[in-house]
Amino acid sequence: MSLKNKEQDGQYSPPSRIHLEHEEESCNDFQQFETNDQCRPHARIHLEPQEKPDTNFKQFVIKKLEKSCQCSSNKARNIIFGFLPVLQWLPKYNLKKNILGDVMSGLIVGILLVPQSIAYSLLAGQEPVYGLYTSFFASFIYFLLGTSRHISVGIFGVLCLMIGEVVDRELYKAGYDTAHVAASLGVVSNESTSLSQPSGKICDKSCYAIIVGSTVTFMAGVYQVAMGFFQVGFVSVYLSDALLSGFVTGASFTVLTSQAKYLLGLSLPRSSGVGSLITTWIHIFRNIHKTNICDLITSLLCLLVLLPTKELNERLKSKLKAPIPTELFVVVAATLVSHFGKLNEKYNTSIAGHIPTGFLPPKAPDWNLIPNVAVDAIAISIIGFAITVSLSEMFAKKHGYTVKANQEMYAIGFCNIIPSFFHCFATSAALAKTLVKESTGCQSQLSGVVTALVLLLVLLVIAPLFYSLQKSVLGVITIVNLRGALRKFKDLPEMWRISRMDTVIWFVTMLSSALISTEIGLLVGVCFSLFCVILRTQKPETSLLGVVEESEIFESMSAYKNLQAKSGIKIFRFVAPLYYINKEYFKSSLYKKTLNPVLVKAAQKKAVKKKIKKETATLSGIRDEVSVQLSHDPLEFHTIVVDCSAIQFLDTAGIHTLKEVRRDYEAIGIQVLLAQCNPSVRDSLARGEYCKKEEENLLFYSVYEAMTFAEDSQNRKDIYVPNGLSFSSD
C-alpha cells in the first residue's frame, strides 16, 4: 500500500524515521547497463576545497605587531577593565538585592576562617598569625582581580601541607633542629635557636620558616602569572577530576598523619620525602608512651562535639539559613578552659602562644632561596590554579555566568605574589568554604571584602586572646575538615560503574600521594593518566559493520542485532587514531576479522607449485591455464571498506600501514576503500601520497557511498567478464 493510500485510509501515522525504498532493476547485458540510468555507477560526491590565500610570514608578523602595539582609549580601557574585573561589576552592583546575602556569607566564612587559618598555619610549619595574614590578603586581592562570584579563596590544607614539607626541609638544611620546630612555633620559650644569615641579621626558627614559606609562595605566584600571560591554561586538562580527587584524598591522609602528634601531645620531627606517612606513624608508635593525657582528652572531647555537629550541618543545610559555626564555639570554649584551668602550667600541654596584633612591615622574599624552592613551587602553582579554575567554572556553570580562565590564573597568581611580601604562604580556592559561601546567599565577591574585614578585626583586636588555645584543638579542626576528601571512598562503586579506568587512576594517584609523597604522587598520577590514554588507543575497539534495514546507517554487528551484512563487502571500523603505537594492532584486527592477504597469497603460490609438480606430464599451455585459474580462486568478498570516522589523525606510520594493507589486499584481488575521513586525515593521506590523482575514487564521504561504489564496480566486472572470471597479466 502506498503512503498516499495509507493517509486516505486513516492508517498512517508519522514515523520516527523516514525510510526510502529504491526499486532495483537488474542489468542483464552491457547495452542495458549503458542506457539505463538505474544501472549507471553511483553518483559520487565531489567537494572543491577552498583556496588558501598565500600569506607572507613577515607581513603576518608585522600586521600582528601593529595591531597589538596600537594604542587607543578604548583599548586601554579594555585592558584595565579586563585586569581589574571589579571595575566592571561594582558600578552595576544592585545594593538592595545583593547586599544582605553578601554580608551574611562574608561574615559566616570569616568566622569559619579564623580557627581554620590558625589550625592550617601549623600544617604549613608557621606561627598562627601568618595563617590569618594569608586569608586576609587573599580574600581582598581576589575581590579585585577574580571573575568568579562565588568561590572562596584563602588557606587550603593540601597547599599548606606542601608548603610545610618545603619549610621543614629548608630548616634542616639551614641547621635548625627540626625535631622541635613544631613545639617552638608560637610558644614562648627560654630557648633561642638562631642562624646567621648572609645579610648579617639574626633570624630564629619561626622567622626563617616564614621566609621559606613566602619565597615558595612568591615563586608559585610568578609561575601562575606566567601561565596566564602565555595562556597555557591547557596544562590543567592533564589534571582530570579523577586525578585531582585521588590526589586530594591521598594528601588528606598525609595531613591527618601530620596532625596526629598534636592530638596526642607528642613533640616529633615532621617526616618529609618518600614514605613520610609511614615514617611518621613509626615515630608516633615508638613514642606513644609519651602521650600527654590532657591533650588526648581534649582531642577526644573536641571530636565528639565537632563530628556530630558537622554531620548535622550537612543534613540540615537545606533548612538552615547559615551553618552553625561550631568550630568557633569549640575554639572559644577550649581557650577559656585552657586559660582558667592553667592546662599549660599544670599538664605541659602545647598551646598556640602569643599571637601579635597588627601587621609586620613588608619584606621581600629571600632571593638566595629561589634556586632551592623553584622546583617545589611548580607543583604548588599547578595544584593551586587547577583547583581554583575548576571550582570557578563549576560554580559559574551552575549559576549561569562565565569566568575567564586566564584571568583566574592572574588572580590566584597575584593572591600569592603580593601577600608573599607580607609574610603569607600559598593560597587557592577551597571547596568546603566555597559551598558554605554559596549556600549562605553570596551574590558577588563583595562578600570577600566582608570576610577580610572579619579577619582584620581579629588581627587588630582579638588575636592575643587565643594565647592559651591548645594545639590539639587546632589539630582536631584540621582533621575534621578532611571529611569531604575521605568521603570519596563512598563514591568509588559509582565511579567504578561509570568508568573503571578513572577509578584505577584515582586509586593510583591516591596511593602514590599518600605512600610516596605529595609532589611525586601528583607526577605519578599525571604520568599514569597519560599512559591510560595511550593504552586506550593502543588496543581500541574494532568491529565489522552491518547496515540497518532500509537505511544508510551502519553499526557494529557484534553490538546490535538484526543488522544486514552486504554480500561481498566487509566494512571495518577502527575506533582510535592510527599511529605508530597501534599500527600493528590495526593490521592484526583487520586480518582477523576479514582474512590475512599475506597468508592467502602464500597459500595460492604453494598450491600452484604443488599442482605443477603433479602435472609434470601435462602440456605447457594447459599448465598455464591451471595456474591462472588457481591463482584466482573466488574469495567470499571482493571489497573492504574502512570506516575512518573515528580515526582522528594519522602519522607517518599510520599512512604506511594503510598503504601496506591496500597493496596486500589488491595482490589477491580485493579492493580497499576508505570512507568518512575527516579533513586532517585526508590532508595526511594526500601528503603521504596514499593514492594518485586518478585513484581519488578510493576515498569516500560516507560508508554508504563506498558500499554502493563497490557494488557498482563489481557489477561492471561481471558484465565485462562472463562467469566472473578475470585474467591477470602475470
Quickly state the pLDDT bin for 507 (edges 50, 70, 90). Answer: very high
On average, the pLDDT of the chain sits at: 79
Which stretches does DSSP call E strand in 173-278?
Answer: 194-196, 202-204
108-112 mean pLDDT: 84
> Could you tell me if residue 221 is left (phi over 0), alpha (psi between -120 and 50 degrees) or otherwise beta?
alpha
Question: What pLDDT digit, counting tens, does each position of 169-217 carry?
Answer: 888 888 776 544 443 343 333 333 333 344 444 577 888 899 999 999 9
Residue 690 scores a pLDDT above 60: yes
Instruction: Give the H/E segment covering residue 642.
Output: strand 639-643
Residue 353's CB is within 10 A of a number of other CB atoms, namely: 21
Distance (Å, rounded) from C-alpha 555 to C-alpha 658?
22
Residue 346 has pLDDT above 80, yes or no: yes
Nearest to 651 by CA among 712, 600, 579, 550: 579
Pairwise pLDDT comparison (188 vs 337), residue with the higher score: 337
Measuring CA to CA, which residue among 194, 186, 129, 193 is closest to residue 155? 129
Q: Which residues contact residue 614 at a Cβ distance below 8 angstroms, ignoring those fewer than 6 apart? A: none
Among the ranges 212-221, 354-363, 376-385, which has the highest mean pLDDT value?
Answer: 212-221
For a pLDDT cut of 70, what percent of the chain falls above it?
A: 80
Model confidence at 322, in pLDDT bands (50, 70, 90)? low
d(CA 57, CA 550): 52
Q: What is the pLDDT of residues 514-557, one digit of tens each?
A: 888 877 888 888 889 888 888 888 888 888 888 888 788 888 88
Q: Using one digit for the tens of pLDDT, what is the confidence trace for 417-437? A: 999 999 999 999 887 788 778
CATH topology of domain 542-613+633-720: Transcription Regulator spoIIAA (3.30.750)
The three three-digit cell numbers of residue 45, written as one number: 560526491
The residue extents of the domains of the chain are 97-176+204-535, 542-613+633-720
pLDDT of 23 above 80:
no
The grid coordinates listed for 30 are: 552491457
Average pLDDT over residues 294-306: 90
* CB count in 10 Å sphere of residue 211: 21
pLDDT at 22: 38
Pick from 234-243, 254-263, 658-667, 716-725 the range whose average pLDDT is largest: 658-667
pLDDT in tens, 235-265: 666 778 888 888 888 888 888 888 888 888 8
pTM of the predicted protein model? 0.70
Q: Please name the residues in contact with 512: beta carbons below 8 A apart, sequence gap of 6 or more.
A: 250, 520, 521, 524, 525
DSSP-derived letter for residue 578 is B
CA distance 404 to 389: 9
Q: What count of other Cβ atoms lies within 10 Å of the Cβ of residue 8?
A: 11
**Strands of 452-501, DSSP E:** none
Q: Please say whether the dihedral angle defined by the alpha carbons of residues 701, 703, 708 and 714, taken in this order, is positive or negative.
A: positive
Please enumerate in sequence order all residues whose Cβ is within 8 A of that of 591, keeping only pairs 6 or more positions apart, or say none: 597
Q: What average pLDDT does range 377-385 have in this prediction?
A: 88
pLDDT band for position 693 (50/70/90)?
Answer: low
pLDDT category of residue 642 using cuts at 50, 70 and 90: very high
Share of the chain above pLDDT 90, in %: 15
Per-residue burial over 375-390, b if 16 or more Cβ lie within 10 Å, else e, is ebbebbbbbbbbbbbb
Which among 334, 357, 362 has a CA at the least distance from the CA of 458? 357
Supply φ then ψ for residue 689, to 5 degrees: 55, 50
Contacts of 414 (CB under 8 A, 6+ apart): 141, 145, 221, 225
What counts of helices (H) and strands (E) characterise the chain? Answer: 30, 10
Residue 415's pLDDT is what?
92
What gap in Å lies between CA 651 and CA 95, rounded to an integer?
A: 59
